[in-house]
Structures are given as C-alpha cells and as structure tokens.
C-alpha cells in the first residue's frame, strides 16, 4: 500500500490521530520522524524551512511506503517503513533518483533529522529538540499522545474564518499593501560584474538584475491572519502578485527604475528578472520578451533552487521553453549547505548563483572538497558569487577561480571606475 501523499493542514491532525490508532491495532514495524518547526524562534519557520523539510520528507515517504502530515502549528510528521539497516547516513545518500540528487539504496529514514537541522540553518534555542523519532509499535503510545495534543490545539484555536478574515480577504489585503508601497521601494536593481585580472579596467558590467522587494510584505502579519510566509495559500498569492507587478514595472517606461526608461537608454546591459515558474505564463512576460527583442537586449530568467527542485518537471519544461526563445536560465539561492545534498548542475542552467557566507572560509576539509567538486560540476565560468558585499567575499571568490560577482561591494567599485573614466568628472 502506497501512502506517499501529503495531507492538507486542515485534515492532518485528524488523519494523524487515525493513522496512529490504526497502527496501534495492527502492529507493524514503522518509524515516525517529527520535525518540530513550531519550536523555532520567530519569525521562523520561513518558507525555505518548510519547503526543504517537505521535499525531503515527501521524497523519503515515497521510497519507504510512508505518509507525511503537515500540521497546523507548523510541525511535519513522517511515518514510514524503517528502511535498510546499515545502509549508511551520508547526506548525499538520503535521496534516491531525485532529479537533483545522486542515486542510492533505500536508507534508514532516521538519518534525516541531523541533515534537516543542518540544511535549514535553523536558529533554534536547542537544535536537539527540533526532531523526535518514535519506533513503532514500541513507542506507539508516545506518538499517540503527541498526535492527540496537536488535535486538541486545533479544536481550541480560533480560525481566521471565524474572525471574519479568511484567505480571500487576506489575499486582497496583500494586493493592496503591494500597490500602496512606493515604486522605488518595490523595484530593486542589482548589478552583476565580471572581474578581469589581466586588464587595467578590472570590472565589466555583465547584467542588471531586477526583482521586487517583497520580503518586508511577506513577513508582515495582516489583521486576523498569519504572515504570508507562514501560509502556503497567501505565499502563492504574494508570489503571483509580485510576478505581475515586476513585469508591469519593467514595461513601464515612465518610471525611472525601469530598464526601458529613456534615462536608462545608455546603460542597458543584459537583463535578469526573478520569476516563479507560474510567472512565465503571464501576458506581461510575453510582452517583456518582445520588448527585449525589439531593443536588442538579451534576457535571462532566474529561479530559486528550491522552487526548481520542488517541481523539476515544471522547471525542465520552463527551461526548454526559454531556451527556444533565446532566454537564458539562472538558478538562484544556492547555498553551500544545499550543495551537501544537491547537484544543481544536473538541472542544466546557464548560470548558477552561489550565496556568499563567511562560513565558506572556515569549512572543514571534507566539506571544502565537496564544495569544490560541486563548483567544478557547475563550471567556474558559470558561477556568480552572490552577496559580494565586502572584500572578503571578493577575495574568496577570486582565490577559488570565480570571476563573476554580484553585490554592493563590486557595484561600488564599478561605479567608481566609471567616474574615474569619465572626462567630465
């Protein structure tokens, strides 16, 4: 019997109680892994915490005849077969035949918790309390008590609908909040540069990236509702609204920040925009593509690594469609922790944006070797070091063969070189 389906939060607590009760009546060897995201310090759990956990738990459920429950308080529960004893616990071996991962035998799901804690970069009072493991049927009573407590919480808690502020009203409020934000606070422009060590003018602009400044709105609570980042429905609505607003702002030539504004005619480099996979279907994207062709401006679309891995089939279709239109594909938000299990190079992007972190300077030899292998697979000439906001990031990247950077530090240097080169300055 295959139970690899994720249950909606509104039913999960009831389904979890029923499942635990059924397993108690028909004892079988099972493992329950509970990820206590509710124990994180606010404003966590953030969307990437939930997506990483859900992707790993769901994939494990599919390979171990299991089921994932996403609870109202944020916790996630995996109940599945124990797996193959003694198969090893290396992070790269947890997932099997995933589009981003290497192949491996079926492994013990109990190896998941330490990897989840590490990958999500969780800011927790006590990381050891973030996961619980119950071996069934021996610890069935403990799991039953946990499930009953979560169900009791849903009975006593009031819902947004009870307070007259449901998901639809919250989604409308998000739209109003976005539209009310000043245009300059919404549309952001960042510069990517190429560093040359063999020329006097060492910095050359590669692209200008445009995205929407949505994090502030995403983290803001609305009356009677959870913050959008903590509600999957609202987060999808927020993402869609930001996609539409980004495309509208890019096409609006009356706005100075827009790339097609007359004031920016002399500095139109290659354009990068951040969109969701669903954003490619918006009419505004087709219009933007035509505008770029008319202006002879090359275009690239950036997707986050997590979004691409959550829907690999959709990503591959989007990538192929963009390539047929002459648009490059960029994978964004690649952290060194994600590279512990992920192989972004298998997704076939044109550029890969590696997030800079001071931790990169202090990796142990094993992790450093793994990072070097991953960068070699992606290709050093295809990597952009993102967040180069200081000299440390620039020096680290150059020492590792990276020549493409994005961040405040390199943008300031590029601007200074332009001023010095201008005869009127």
Query: For 157-210, how does the pLDDT look when each residue is reduced to its tens digit (9 = 90+)?
Result: 544 444 444 555 655 666 666 666 555 556 777 888 888 776 555 778 888 888
C-beta separation of 186 from 258 below 8 A: no
Q: Return the closest-CA partner of residue 336 out of 286, 298, 373.
A: 373
Fold of 167-421: TIM Barrel (3.20.20)
Distance CA 38, CA 68 (A): 16
pLDDT band at 145 (very low <50, low <70, confident <90, very high): very high
CATH topology of domain 6-156: Alpha-Beta Plaits (3.30.70)
Tokens of 352: 């890969």
User: CB–CB of 54/76 below 8 Å?
Assistant: yes
Domain parsing of the chain, residue ranges: 6-156, 167-421
Measured distance CA(179)–CA(203) in Å, rounded: 37
Helices 167-180 and 232-251: crossing angle, nearest 10°?
Answer: 30
**What gap in Å lies between CA 291 and CA 218, rounded to an integer?**
30
Report the pLDDT value the prediction gives residue 161, as an integer from 0 to 100. Answer: 43
* Residue 316 reports pLDDT greater than 90: yes
Angle between helices 283-295 and 232-251 (to 10 degrees): 30
| Greatest Cα pair distance in the chain | 84
Considering only residues 411 and 1, tell me which one the structure prediction assigns the higher pLDDT: 411
| pTM, full prediction | 0.63
**Residue 215 CB-density burial (10 A; 0-12 exposed, 13-18 middle, 19+ buried):** exposed
Question: Which is nearest to 404 in space by CA: 325, 300, 292?
Answer: 300
Q: What pLDDT is attached to residue 8?
A: 44
| Rounded Cα–Cα distance for residues 232 and 383 (Å) | 31
């Amino acid at each position: 019997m295959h139970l690899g389906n994720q249950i909606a939060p509104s039913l999960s607590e009831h389904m979890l109680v029923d499942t635990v009760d059924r397993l108690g009546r028909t004892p079988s060897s099972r493992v329950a892994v509970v990820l206590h995201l509710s124990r994180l310090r606010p404003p966590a759990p953030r969307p990437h915490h939930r997506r990483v956990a859900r992707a790993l738990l769901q994939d494990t459920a599919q390979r171990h005849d299991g089921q994932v429950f996403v609870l109202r308080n944020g916790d996630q529960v995996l109940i599945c077969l124990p797996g193959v004893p003694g198969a090893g616990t290396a992070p790269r071996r947890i997932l099997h035949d995933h589009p981003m991962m290497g192949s491996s035998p079926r492994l013990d799901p109990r190896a998941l918790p330490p990897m989840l804690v590490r990958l999500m970069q969780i800011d927790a009072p006590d990381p050891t309390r973030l996961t619980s493991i119950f071996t069934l049927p021996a610890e069935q009573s403990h799991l039953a008590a946990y499930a009953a407590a979560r169900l009791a919480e849903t009975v006593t808690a009031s819902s947004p609908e009870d307070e007259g502020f449901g998901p639809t009203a919250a989604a409308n409020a998000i739209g109003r909040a976005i539209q009310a934000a000043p245009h300059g606070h919404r549309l952001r422009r960042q510069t990517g540069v190429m560093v040359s060590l063999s020329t006097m003018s060492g910095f050359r602009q590669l692209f200008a990236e445009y995205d929407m400044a949505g994090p502030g709105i995403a983290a803001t609570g609305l009356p009677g509702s959870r913050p959008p980042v903590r509600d999957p429905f609202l987060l999808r609505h927020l993402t869609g609204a930001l996609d539409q607003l980004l495309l509208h702002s890019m096409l609006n030539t009356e706005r100075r920040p827009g790339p097609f504004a007359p004031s920016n005619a002399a500095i139109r480099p290659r354009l990068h925009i951040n969109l969701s996979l669903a954003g490619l279907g918006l009419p505004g994207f087709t219009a933007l593509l035509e505008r770029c062709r008319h202006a002879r401006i090359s275009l690239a679309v950036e997707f986050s690594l997590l979004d691409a891995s959550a829907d690999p089939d959709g990503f591959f279709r989007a990538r192929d469609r963009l390539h047929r239109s002459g648009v490059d594909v960029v994978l964004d938000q690649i952290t060194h922790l994600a590279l512990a299990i992920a192989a972004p190079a298998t997704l076939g992007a044109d550029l890969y944006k590696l997030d800079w972190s001071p931790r990169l300077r202090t990796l142990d030899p094993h992790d450093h070797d793994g990072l070097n292998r991953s960068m070699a697979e992606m290709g050093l000439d295809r990597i952009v070091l993102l967040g180069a906001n200081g000299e440390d990031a620039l020096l680290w990247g150059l020492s590792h063969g990276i020549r493409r950077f994005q961040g405040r530090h390199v943008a300031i240097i590029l601007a200074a070189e332009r001023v010095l080169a201008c005869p009127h300055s």
